[in-house]
Amino acid sequence: MQKIISVAFIVSVVGNVLTMVTIITSPLRGYPMYHFLAHLSFIDACYACVSTPKVIIDSFYEKKTSPFNECMTQVFREHLFAGVDVILLTVMAYDRYVAICKPWHYTTIMNWRLCQVLVEMAWVGGVIHSTIQILFILSLPFCGPNIIDHFMCDLNPLLDLACTDTHILGFFVPANTGLICLSNFLLLIGSYVIILCSLRAHSLEARRKALSTCVSHITAVILFLVPCLFVYLRPTVALPVDKAVSVFYTDNSHVKSFHLYFEK
């Protein structure tokens, strides 16, 4: 199992880093689509490093522990990179919409300044989202036993450990993380519906070229956002299947429990 996890982690990180380096060191970096893709590859490489190294190390021990501060840092980094990832996917959908539906105005609309602003907005949105999440978690009382039935620290498992009534607090997760995932997912679906409708007036060859640039992006959106919607949009109840579903958006494959040692 350790070998499978390690290979998957290395392939994920190396693949994303190579993609980023290839774009940065080639003329492709001047195109908005590849500019966003380079940033997305960087975020995905960072995201894969949030919990997977810890999972690999823990797989060698029967008792899996994590200090409180380390757990909180993991929650912050997880939602930071996930938030930026979601917003960048939406930005890339907008880029494809402009390229396909407004080709004659593409260079004017998607200028370099706008591209930089959109990337900065993605980072700002990710920081705000993760800050809200960590402040929410830090406000909860934990009095043990702090055993999480998951391979990483996350909102739903941590809410189950809180020494207080979390029925009302549980609505915070779908109202925050779930709503962000849902709104971006609807924006993405809407943009591709408009794209598909506009393609009816194009030739068969133009449709093929347009769709070829969108298939990989649609696949990434489905693999990332659909599992996120399943985990974060429903009422806050940690289910055993959450561990398997989380694999799709965290690049992990270890779904056993581990014990959190809170040093407060």
Q: What is the mean pLDDT of residues 169-193?
A: 78
pLDDT of residue 17: 92
Confidence of residue 170 (pLDDT cuts 50, 70, 90): low
pLDDT digits (tens, 9 = 90+) for 240-252: 555 555 554 555 4
pLDDT at 123: 94
pLDDT for the residue 39: 92
pLDDT at residue number 78: 87
The tens digit of pLDDT for each residue in 123-148 reads 999 999 889 888 888 887 777 666 77
Tokens of 53: 């190294």
pLDDT at residue 102 tops 50: yes
pLDDT tier for residue 199 given thresholds of 50, 70 and 90 = confident
Contact between 17 and 67 under an 8 Å Cβ cutoff? The reply is no
Residue that is written with structure tokens 């992990």 in the block: 252
Torsion, Cα of 46, 48, 54, 58 (10° steps): -170
**How many Å apart are CA 128 and CA 136, to the nearest integer?**
12
Which residue stretches of the chain are H helix?
2-24, 32-58, 68-101, 106-109, 112-138, 155-161, 172-173, 179-198, 204-232, 241-250
pLDDT digits (tens, 9 = 90+) for 57-88: 766 766 666 777 788 888 889 889 988 988 99
Higher pLDDT, residue 146 or 254: 146
Sorted by sequence, the CB contacts under 8 Å of residue 83 that are 6+ apart come out as: 125, 126, 127, 128, 129, 130, 180
DSSP 176: I
Residue 262 pLDDT: 47
Checking if the pLDDT of 157 tops 80, the result is no
So what's the pLDDT on residue 2? 64
Confidence tier at 258 by pLDDT (50, 70, 90): very low
Let me know: does 101 contact 198? Beta carbons within 8 Å. Answer: yes
CB atoms under 10 Å from CB of 235, counted, come to 11
The predicted structure's pLDDT at residue 119: 94
Given a contact cutoff of 8 angstroms between Cβ atoms, the answer to whether 36 and 95 are in contact is: yes
